[in-house]
Structure 1
Amino acid sequence: MIGQGTYSSVYKARDLENGKIVALKKVRFANMDPESVRFMAREIHILRRLDNPNVIKLEGLVTSRMSSSLYLVFEYMEHDLAGLAATPGIKFTEAQVKCYMHQLLSGLGHCHSRGVLHRDIKGANLLLDNNGALKIADFGLATFFNPNQKQNLTSRVVTLWYRPPELLLGATNYGATVDLWSAGCILAELLSGKPIMPGRTEVEQLHKIFKLCGSPSEEFWAN
């Protein structure tokens, strides 16, 4: 086992037909509530819409009637960015940071062009292989969006340290900028070697943002 969540476990496995190493995400439906089932169905729908070298590829689905489980088959990646950054002795060079950010923005550009918001960009969801290839993973909070239409989306998304101010202020009509804010936080984190705004609460997170970036003007609040 290489990872575990509330309703799923991730295993490293080998495809017996071609010998390829894959990651198997086992989803347990037995105790899953209807809303979680909808989230899982949406995640699969989104993954099937995306096809880019910098987005994790869903290679197949396997069902198990015996255990009431569904297996999502993904390409296998050896590392995640957060794990590598936390490894003692590892300090990313400027060239590595440029390479990782180029790949992250390329993957996000593809997602946004296909009408998909990731809504949880952070180091743990950016996977790396031993050759330095980066892929965006974990689309559990992702959703479809249309930049030309006003939409009522939830503001309760994005891990706190990477959450943009508009979501902290309760915005429900937003677009690609929420992912780009998170990407900016990743860039600063890679260059500084640590998270730049590690707030413990939403209020503290806003305070850290305003302290670093400045407070919104009176004209902003008036609008």
Structure 2
Amino acid sequence: MSDSTPDGTSPRTFALNHLRPKSSFKGCSRISDYELLGKLGEGTFGEVHRARLRKTGTLVALKKIIMHHEKDGFPITALREIKLLKLLSHKNILRLEDMAIEHPTRQTDKRKKPIVYMATPYMDHDLSGLLDNPSVHFKEPQIKCYMLQLLEGLRYLHDSRILHRDMKAANLLINNQGILQIADFGLARHYEGDVPKAGQAYGPGRRDYTGLVVTRWYRPPELLLQLRQYTPAIDVWGVGCVLGEMLFGKPILAGESDAHQLDMIWDLMGSPNEDNMPGWKQLPGADHLSPRPRTGNLQNRFRE
């Protein structure tokens, strides 16, 4: 009998690495069940690969969860995202289809822990990439179609008492059939309280959350003014920024700092007052602010 194995290790090592009992990671696939087709991108919390499930030929996106500090265990951000995605089921929410595990394959492999991948449906584009493409120009019916899908997905999230907290064009995925799905739930949290009534600055939030959420260009004024008891309204502001971006083809509030971001918001929407943003002076970040009077230019900016 030959002592050789497919990966060049001893038969015993090969058995330990490849013939593990199924209960080791119950419900998870092996990375060998997928054919990796190329790297799509990389972010703070992981890198994403295009892959094909060998058994069915289905295309998927495999998000490799990066372990920056292995001694600290599995990243809490990834754990929260996985937990939330397992609870969600909606046509406009990216779904978690599978988890795949890659075990160390050689005795000399210094990596002690397996690598974990999240498998989601492969989407052909993200909205930000489409808007950056000079050959892509959305027509009004397309914008309406994408906005309807975005709002339906967001309503489902908020009805499920979930804050996304990172609403932006880069986190909206679109396939070649025109289906839009909300993605990237690494910052999402369960929400306690009711959705605020229209016209309220920050609504009836019941608990403090971190203010270090939402990419600056999509961040609402209450977050910039250091509100901690925020509500689903922060996601709705982001949707408005995305709508403007689709109309203009580029971000409409591209601030270079938090102070500059506020200034751009007030130029567009008008200076805050008790009519358009009740209670704004009581927000922690408003103590020393005295914005010059501005009426805003929203209608002029978006006039055809």
Displacement of 1:131 in angstroms is 0.9
Distance 1:190 1:32 in 2: 40
2:117 corresponds to which of 62, 71, 86: 71
- TM-score w.r.t. the length of structure 1 is 0.94
Instruction: Give CA-to-partner distance per residue, 1:96-116, whole Å, 9 cap, x none.
Output: 000000000011111111111
C-alpha change, 1:90 and 1:73, in structure 2 (3 Å) is same
> CA, structure 1 residues 16+102, in 2 after alignment: closer, same or farther (shift >3 Å)?
same
2:177 to 131, 153, 157: 131
1:49/1:114 contact within 8 Å kept? no
Unaligned runs of at least 5 residues, structure 1? none
Q: Does structure 2 conserve the Cα–Cα contact (< 8 Å) formed by 1:121 and 1:158?
A: yes
**Per-residue deviation, 1:6:** 3.0
Q: What is the DSSP-based 3-state SS (H/G/I as helix, E as strand, rest coil) of the residue aligned with 1:10? A: strand
Alignment of 1:9-158 (within 5 A): 9-29=47-67, 31-32=69-70, 34=72, 37-66=75-104, 68-148=114-194, 150-158=206-214
User: What are the superposed Cα offsets for residues 81-132 of structure 1, whole Å, 9 maximum, x if unpaired?
Assistant: 0101111121100000000000000111111111111111111110000011
The one-letter code sitting in structure 1 at the alignment partner of 2:60 is: V
Q: Kindly provide the amino acid, as one letter, of the partner of residue 145 in structure 1.
A: Y
Number of residue-to-residue matches in the alignment: 223
Amino acid at match of 2:50: K
1:187 aligned residue: 243
Q: Which amino acid aligns with 2:248?
A: S
Q: Which moved more, 1:1-10 or 1:79-88?
A: 1-10
Larger radius of gyration: 2
Indicate whether 1:214 and 2:214 are aligned. Answer: no
Within 2, Cα distance between the matches of 1:33 and 1:199? 37
Gaps of 5+ in 2: 1-38, 105-110, 195-204, 283-304
| 2:210 aligned with 1:164 | no
Cα distance between partner residues in 2 of 1:28 and 1:196: 32
SS at match of 2:77: helix
**Could you say which structure has the greater relative contact order, defined with CA pairs below 8 angstroms and 6 or more residues apart?**
1
Give secondary structure in 2 for the equivalent of 1:51. Answer: coil
Under a length normalisation based on structure 2, what TM-score does the superposition of the two structures give? 0.70
SS in structure 1 of the partner of residue 78 of structure 2: helix
2:135 maps to a residue whose letter is G
Paired residue type of 1:134? L
Q: Hey, which bits of structure 1, 4+ residues long, moved more than 2 A? A: 28-36, 218-223
Structure 1 residue 221: deviation in Å?
4.3
Q: Aligned-residue CA RMSD in angstroms?
A: 1.8
Match in the other structure for 2:255? 199
Identity level (%): 43
